[in-house]
Chains A and B, each alone.
Chain A
Amino acid sequence: MTETKIDIRELNLWYGSFLALKNVNLSVPPRLITALIGPSGCGKSTLLRALNRMNDLIPGVRITGTVLLDGENIYGGALRVDRLRKRVGMVFQRPNPFPLSIFDNVVYGLKVAGVHNRGILRDTAEKCLRGAWLWDNVKDKLHHDALELPLDQQQRLCVARLLAVEPEVILMDEPCSALDPIATAKIEELMAVLKKDYTIVIVTHNMQQAARVSDFSGCMLLGEMIEFNDTQTMFTHPGDKRTEDYITGRYG
């Protein structure tokens, strides 16, 4: 691993007095899929949300250490948080399209960025909906309420909405946990295509999913990164006894 898109160094995070991340170090390679696994409450979602500073919204969070995005510390103060989030986008556990039309959902990020040219908005909407494999499902009802879509299409709409702001990194926080296996397979296929252009970090509870889609995996336990390796090696020859226990199902 020579290139690094996101470099996490000695990251500690407290919720009040509770230390949720303990001295985490991790290098996320560009244009590959990195999976974060570990039992519930191990801090993997917290770590993910540290990468686009979504934890800022929670009162009482304190952070030390650095997270370098292309070498620039996102906690350094020079990078504005709204700019950061345009570069590091996020797909959430439950699909959360806005209560707007499908079209308005996709172009939301552009409007936020001040783009109001109708032609550009329309072209981007089509491009991004195609990019998220949703175009054929929704091309005839772009102005319908997004909340009328089935859940898996809502989740792909959230991906499309993200693509519109042209992020460099896509964070996915258990993106399939609300979906059935068929919808999950579609999202996984989509991820495999997206990684050609985007750096993806995914948090998942689903060991098979991590093994299927990711190139690198990090296993966390009680706020610590206990092992980080390429996925193949991690799942066949885990280097840490605790990783092996978790992968083979001895931890909840």
Chain B
Amino acid sequence: MIRIGEKTVQRLLMAAAFSAIGGLLLIALFIFKEGLSFFIETGFRRFLFADVWDPQSGLYGIFPMLVASLWVTLGAMLLGAPLGISVAVFLVEFVPRSVMRVVKPTIELLAGIPSVVYGFIGVMVLAPFIRSTFGGPGLSLLAASFILGVMILPTIISISVDAITAVPASYREGSFALGATRWQTVRMVVLKAARSGIIASVILGMGRAVGETMAVIMVAGNAVKIPHSALDSVRTLTANIALEMGYATGRHREALFATGIVLFVVIMILNTAAGVMVRKRVSGKKG
């Protein structure tokens, strides 16, 4: 009896696990089915690197959005990565464990705030601030970068904290015993030992930044053009799909699915890279 129960539970759990993978496969299949033919017909270069997106005239170049996504993500990393890693180092190395046990879950709670709320704050506070301080429309590349930079903090902090915590205490002891101060120990040993995990956290944060849609739509301004400054209004790839999918038909619709393929592949690459970094042995090899 017991054995039969065991088997049943095992099968059920396995089915649950496979349904998750199945979901992913179905999504991938769907996007590729809808978008791949367009991708092939238009051609890789004419789709990715043509800079006019005008569905009414049948022009589907996503280059402006590609550039916008790139800049917004880069800007977010510029803010989020150094800040997130600093916070992680501070939490693990410079405050008592009891404080970290309170602060870390609180930061992880940030990940639970709906992105529309981030967007709301961006519209109400950040955009007016940028408009009055730096000029421009306010809803801009800079605003989107900033909001995304904050949104990816929980990812970067949480994974970096885990990576730094996992550095064996014996490394720290060995360093202290040679007369190193805590900061020297962090800089010269701990960060090197935790390097792959920290890089993974940054890559995963990047994945989140590339994929984020709602908050970006609200604060980026959404003008389809190649930005010339951080204060320009931009539209990212994700924003473009979300904004136009509602009324798109025919070729236009297929073009949006093809954009989805681009995003899908980029995020897959980023997540795989992060996975590889996490699995990589803690190592101080040069290069």
Binding site for B on A (CB under 8 A): 52, 54, 57, 59, 82-83, 85-86, 89-90, 92, 94, 96-101, 104, 108-109, 111-113, 143-147, 158, 161-162, 165
Kindly list 11 other residue pairs between chains A and B, CB separation below 8 angstroms, not including A92-B174, A161-B178.
A57-B172, A57-B173, A92-B170, A92-B173, A96-B173, A98-B188, A99-B193, A99-B284, A104-B284, A112-B181, A165-B178
B283–A86 CB distance below 8 A: no
User: B121 at the A/B interface (Cβ < 8 Å)?
Assistant: no
Nearest Cβ on chain A to B280's Cβ, whole angstroms: 12
Q: Does A145 contact B96, Cβ atoms closer than 8 Å?
A: no
- What chain A residues lie within 8 Å of B180 (beta carbons)? 82, 108-109, 112
Find the residue from B173, B178, B282 having the highest chain A CB count within 10 A.
Answer: B178
A238 to B188: give the CA distance in the assembly, Å: 47
B272 close to A (CB within 8 Å) = no
A165 CA to B189 CA in the complex, in Å?
17
Minimal Cβ-Cβ distance residue in A for B168: A96
Residues of B contacting A109 in the complex (Cβ-Cβ under 8 angstroms): 178-180
Asked if residues B184 and A112 are in contact (CB atoms below 8 Å), the reply is: yes
Give Cα A19–Cα B215 distance, bound, in whole angstroms: 58
Q: Is the CB of A98 within 8 A of B179?
A: no
Q: With A98-B189, A111-B188 given, is the CB distance from A162 to B178 under 8 Å?
A: yes
In the complex, A96 Cα to B169 Cα: how many Å?
A: 10
Min distance, Cβ A143 to any Cβ of chain B, angstroms = 6
What are 14 A-B pairs at a CB distance below 8 A?
A: A96-B168, A96-B170, A97-B174, A98-B174, A98-B189, A98-B192, A99-B284, A100-B284, A109-B178, A112-B181, A143-B286, A144-B285, A162-B177, A165-B179
Distance between Cα atoms of A162 and B286 in the complex (Å): 22
Contact B283 A99 (CB under 8 A): yes
Decide: A59 and B96 in contact? CB cutoff 8 A.
Answer: yes
B177 touches A82 (CB 8 A): no
Hey, which chain A residues are within 8 Å of B173, CB to CB? 54, 57, 92, 96
In the assembly, what is the distance between CA of A68 and CA of B193, in Å?
Answer: 36
Q: Is there a chain A Cβ closer than 8 Å to B271's Cβ? A: no
B171 contacts partner chain A, Cβ-Cβ < 8 Å: yes
Chain A hits for B192, CB < 8 A: 98-100
Name the residue on A nearest B96 (C-beta). A59
Instruction: For B189, list chain A residues within 8 Å (CB).
Output: 98-100, 108
Partner of B285, one of A82, A96, A101, A165: A101
Given contacts A112-B180, A112-B184, A112-B188, contact A98 B175 (CB under 8 A): yes
Whether, in the assembled complex, B176 has its beta carbon less than 8 Å from a beta carbon of chain A, the answer is yes
Known: A104-B284, A111-B188, A112-B188. A98 touches B177 (CB 8 A): no
Query: Residues of B contacting A143 with CB < 8 Å?
Result: 286
A121 to chain B, nearest CB (A): 14
Q: Give chain A nearest CB distance to B241 CB in angstroms.
A: 43
Q: Are A112 and B179 interface neighbours, CB within 8 A? A: yes
Q: Indicate which residue in A54, A83, A145, A162 contacts B176 across the interface (CB closer than 8 Å).
A: A54
Contacts of B283 in A (CB 8 A): 99, 145, 147
8 Å CB interface, B179-197 against A: 179-181, 184, 188-189, 192-193
- Distance in angstroms from B184 CB to nearest chain A CB is 5
Interchain nearest-CB distance for B107 vs A (Å)? 23
Given the known interface contacts A83-B179, A109-B179, A113-B179, the answer about A158 and B184 at a Cβ–Cβ threshold of 8 Å is no
- Cβ–Cβ < 8 Å partners of B176 in chain A: 54, 57, 85
Q: How far is the CB of A153 from chain B (nearest CB, A)?
A: 16
Q: Which of A85, A90, A94, A146 contacts B284 (CB 8 A)?
A: A146
